[in-house]
Structure 1
Amino acid sequence: MSGNLRLLTGTLARAKRDGRAALVTYHPAGFPTVDDGIAAILATLDAGADVVEVGLPHSDPVLDGPVIQTADDIALRGGVRIADVLRTVREVHAATGKPVLVMSYWNPVSRYGVERFARELAEAGGAGCVLPDLPVPESAPWRRAAAEHDLATVFVVAPSSTDAQLAETAAAGTGFVYASALMGVTGTRDSVDEAAAVLAGRLRAVTDLPVCVGMGVANARQAAHVAGFADGVIVGSALVGTLLDADDQTEGRIALTRLAGELAAGVRA
């Protein structure tokens, strides 16, 4: 293992050595514009996030709730392309040196070209890809390309997954396992379902990969709670929502930075 994937695994391992969970943030590329999206991501990393997932906006999401869907729609109407996603990865990684993953549905990657996408993501400094709708039995072409280019392959598991499915998914993945805290789509919740802790425990029984938990975390209290049983806490909708709710970019950036800092303090509590 060298380079990109090692940066991700090293970051997660370092957080564990420090006795805390890592904070993983999410932001769609091109929202509200490509430049503003890059600035927003840099703000969350400067505020204490350890890893970032750059969303590849998609017109037919199956996992994303209304907040992410709205942001994706704004990005798509603004003309965002895969080149803009890769530019976002490149500039964020160059500016911070922190691990940057792309989170994408499989169709855009497949249409772009598996080998081409993996190569260009690695050249941009990307650490890997989160692929929530790619079935493990159909993932061999991507996993070969990812391995060749030193990229993590992160799969998403849900509380409904059987023990056999968890073992199969964890064995196929690299970097970490993305454990969904709930059944349904992304979005903030008043509380994090205790099924998330159960799922994390089930995963630890079948893999040594770090377990990062997402979907539903909205504030520092929830982040601290999830950090008690997860190696990483993933937050997306709450952060994106601060920009959607703001009256202007300056106000939104201030709110985004404040929330990211609170979440970073939460995982370190």
Structure 2
Amino acid sequence: MQFKDYYETLGVEPGAGEAEIKGAYRRLARKYHPDVSKEPGAEEQFKAVNEAYEALRDPQKRAAYDQLRARGYRPGDDVQPPPGGFAEGYGGVDFDEIFAGGGAGGGFSDFFENLFGRGRAGGGFGGAAPQPRGDTRAKLAVSLESVYNGSPARIGIGNRTLDVRIPKGIRPGQVIRLAGQGNAGRDLLLEIEYAANPQFEVDGRNIIHVLAVAPWEAALGATVSVPTLGGPVELKVPPRSESGRKLRLRGRGLPGTPAGDQIVELEILAPLPETPAQQAAYEAMRDAFGDDWRRA
């Protein structure tokens, strides 16, 4: 099993704060998203970025990973567990808590699954068989789309695959009980957490989406397509809009009573000129606005 440097994948330093890690993830996820990216190997890069963010955004997972990384591993190095396995070697992190997700995009590497997913409870590093001790507890990372639609999620527990119905609008921290699906025929309790999503953030039941608009769309107004959990919708950008302006799509957030809204935050991005006509258009803008546009 080869070591992965998640900090290197996101392009941040090991001491980076939560906001910096989130910002790097959002930037790279937009860059490599398979639906829009023309970068070579975009799909694999997108998966790598999602995996790195899943490892570093959770304090418990990050602490365990940091302790492993401190042993001096470099990308591609063969990883050997410490004496007694991961569960005993890393500061008391409880690897009996199965990570039963799949996260944003799923398809995590063997390195991720062995470090966070199987532990002692699933027969990974450490090798000890689980001891009967009541209900089996696990965390289930579900996509925001599954929460919005109430669609089923497929998870792996040990050597088994289960299909779990996700109730619409379920909240982080709520628990789904699967009778008889845990260790030794006990119940399996799945604690819900939301998987990272490159397009959306969650604020209560509201969904936040940062929408890139061109300078002329912000200045003149435009109708643009905006992704939502229920599919794309048309949004009118008012004239004379500035970066940071927030527009509301009512009822487009997570289900509930009442349903949440989607908040669209505008971010003005200037595309680089790639043709003589585009270069001329920028030169015309420069001449029209002059040097005083900052003060305006």
What is the TM-score when the length of structure 2 is the normalising length? Answer: 0.27
* Larger gyration radius, structure 1 or structure 2: 2
More strand as a share of residues: 2
More helix as a share of residues: 1
The higher-RCO structure (CA 8 Å, 6+ apart) is 1
What is the TM-score when the length of structure 1 is the normalising length? Answer: 0.29
